[in-house]
Amino acid sequence: MTPDDALLVRLGVALRTKGYGFTTPIPATHARVNGRPGNAKAKDLRDVFGWSRPFARDVVSADILALMQDAGILLGENGMFRSALRVSSLEGELFFHSAFPTMQADAVFFGPDTYRFARAIKAGLRDRTAPIANAVDIGCGAGPGGILIAKHAPEARVLMTDINDAAVRLARVNAALAGTTNATSLHSDILNEVEGGFDLIVSNPPYLNDPLQRAYRHGGGEFGATLSLRILESALPRLTPRGTLILYTGSAIVDGRDLFRNAALSRLAAGDFAWTYEEADPDVFGEELETEAYRAADRIAAVVLNVTKRI
């Protein structure tokens, strides 16, 4: 861990000590709330680290301001300050991730999908009776999936992989902040840079067709499903007997047809797998339907594919 990483951990501890908490909404909600009269400037820590609003020096305590400056996340803006990172709450932990708006190519995502992903993992962990020795969170982002598993199975080795170095770094910081010493983040394109089999593989990949091709949003292909299918193909042969894949992603529904489901099940047909598939939310990112990429789609559904290798 670098000195800057350690300073971020100290900042997270300080925020937790002050009782800080924030649930991250969708970007449209974030913009609407920030656009209300009186919300242009921060008044408290939630405004600074949650709503990403500019703030005057006297809004935060001297110790918080010093930690922000030393950690390199204190930005100057028109005579005021702004945090380069947001901090969100999930399952009793705090997670550093990118500030709003997330327009950078290497932005680190955290939002409503993260909360649904966590629920899918918790359900999978409740249903699992076999022990977990090795687990991996593919495309870990800020690390919530891997950290949740590491807390549930402290004896397991948990890897958190991402091609985004900013995500690898924040996952490492967030794991230290959560005290999950058995969770390690590293750079990897899916599973290409890691070896061995896994008892549990989880992933919440980007699943949209993003014209800007931002890493945290763009899934590739006509409707954004290419990366999710690549993860499925890479994960299946790496599952140990009774190993499980929990893939939380999105699917374009076109003329009533679930395109991702059809493509995924064709890949599962070649092996001995038990699987379930459900819509976690039937209608997400509805604003995308106004774009050219989704002109043929009825809706975009958030879906969970749960696969277990029988032998």
Query: CA–CA separation, 206 vs 214, rounded Å?
Result: 9
Q: Are residues 167 and 282 in the same domain?
A: yes
Q: Are residues 167 and 303 in the same domain?
A: yes
pTM: predicted TM-score of the whole model, two decimal places: 0.95
**Domain annotation covers residue 164:** yes
pLDDT (tens digit per residue) in 60-102: 999 999 999 999 999 997 889 999 999 999 999 999 999 999 8
Q: Are residues 42 and 120 in the same domain?
A: no
pLDDT of 246 reads 98
Task: State how many domains the chain has.
Answer: 2
**Domain annotation covers residue 143:** yes
**Whether the Cβ atoms of residue 193 and residue 182 lie closer than 8 Å to each other:** no
**Domain annotation covers residue 39:** yes
User: What is the mean pLDDT, run by run of 10 residues, along the chain of 311 residues?
Assistant: 93 97 95 97 98 97 96 92 98 97 91 97 92 97 98 97 97 98 98 97 94 84 94 97 97 96 92 94 93 94 96 79
pLDDT (tens digit per residue) in 10-60: 999 999 999 999 999 999 999 999 999 999 999 999 999 999 999 999 999
Query: CA–CA separation, 297 vs 214, rounded Å?
Result: 21
Q: Are residues 66 and 143 in the same domain?
A: no
**Domain annotation covers residue 105:** no
Domain around 130: 112-309
Query: CA–CA separation, 5 vs 42, rounded Å?
Result: 25
**Domain annotation covers residue 100:** no
